[in-house]
């Protein structure tokens, strides 16, 4: 396996998986997603509101994140965003989220699945 393939494979192994039910406004994630987002695994098992996640997005990244997410839901299209999370009780972290609608009714997504990956921040973030 070449170096690039190995990095992609390692990133995939470290990624968390999540599902978002638009109608119920519940986001569920596996243990890795919970760790990346900074939520207890029990909370992610029960589901969190999207607003709980959005409240952790760095204020400087929020406008672009919100616009992309809004367009993705309205157009039932894939979503990709790299942004900073200000996690509770731990250091800020850069994350990349990829998601796409899994179920669509009347032109709007009702179920969205995706992955979240994290990277270490090597410079201090302005808060």
Mind listing the domains of the chain with CATH numbers? 3-119 (3.30.450.20)
- The residue among 80, 24, 27, 32 whose CA lies nearest residue 55 is 27
> Per-residue pLDDT for the chain (127 aa), expressed as one digit of tens each?
777 666 655 555 679 999 999 999 999 999 999 999 999 999 999 999 999 999 999 999 999 999 999 999 899 999 999 999 998 777 889 999 999 999 889 988 999 999 999 875 444 445 5
- The residue among 18, 3, 36 whose CA lies nearest residue 119 is 36
In degrees and rounded to multiples of 5, residue 14 shows phi and psi of -90, 0
Q: Looking at residue 122, what is its pLDDT?
A: 43
pTM over 0.85: no
């Amino acid at each position: 396996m070449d170096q690039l393939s190995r990095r992609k494979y390692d990133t995939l192994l470290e990624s968390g998986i999540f599902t978002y039910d638009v109608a119920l406004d519940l986001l569920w994630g596996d243990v890795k997603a919970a760790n990346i987002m900074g939520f207890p695994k029990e909370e992610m098992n029960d589901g969190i509101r999207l607003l709980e996640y959005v409240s952790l997005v760095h204020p400087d990244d929020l406008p672009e994140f919100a616009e992309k997410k809004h367009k993705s839901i309205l157009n039932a299209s894939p979503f990709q965003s790299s942004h900073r999370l200000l996690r509770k009780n731990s250091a800020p972290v850069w994350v990349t989220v990829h998601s796409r609608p899994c179920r669509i009714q009347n032109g709007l997504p009702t179920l969205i699945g995706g992955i979240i990956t994290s990277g270490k921040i090597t410079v201090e973030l302005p808060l």
